[in-house]
Amino acid sequence: MTVGIIIRDKFGQDIFGTNSYNYNMDINFEASKTYKCNFQMAMNVGRGKYSITAAIHSEHNHLGDCSHWLDHATNFEVSAAQDKPFIGLCKLEPSISITPKS
């Protein structure tokens, strides 16, 4: 089985999505057991409101055999950047250099 998430902005646009299939994880659930799945990552997203959708399916995406889908499983809000401010959806963390032109 595959466990996946999608993070959407306040307009419903997908800003990030991934699943266990993309990380070559082979998951076999046993009947009558409860499982907990954690996705841990740096949340380099801009100020705003977001929601997380979660799904369990048997293929590389949810379009095939989707066992469970939960839209707006949870919501969160980013109120301000912790260090260097930026605008937009994603904090790309560029390296900036300036050199004289010959």
Q: Could you tell me if residue 43 is inside a domain?
A: yes
Q: Could you tell me if residue 93 is inside a domain?
A: no
Which residues form the domain of 71?
2-78
Q: 43-75 pLDDT, tens per residue?
A: 888 889 999 999 998 776 666 677 888 999 999
Q: Could you tell me if residue 102 is inside a domain?
A: no
48-57 and 2-9 beta bridge pairing: antiparallel
Q: How confident is the model at residue 101 (pLDDT cuts 50, 70, 90)?
A: confident
Give the chain's mean pLDDT: 85
CA 32/CA 25 separation, integer angstroms: 21
Q: Could you tell me if residue 94 is inside a domain?
A: no
Number of domains in the chain: 1
Please state, in angstroms and as integers, the Cα–Cα distance from residue 78 to each residue in 26, 43, 57, 83, following that order: 33, 9, 29, 13
Backbone angles phi, psi at 20, to 5 degrees: -65, -30
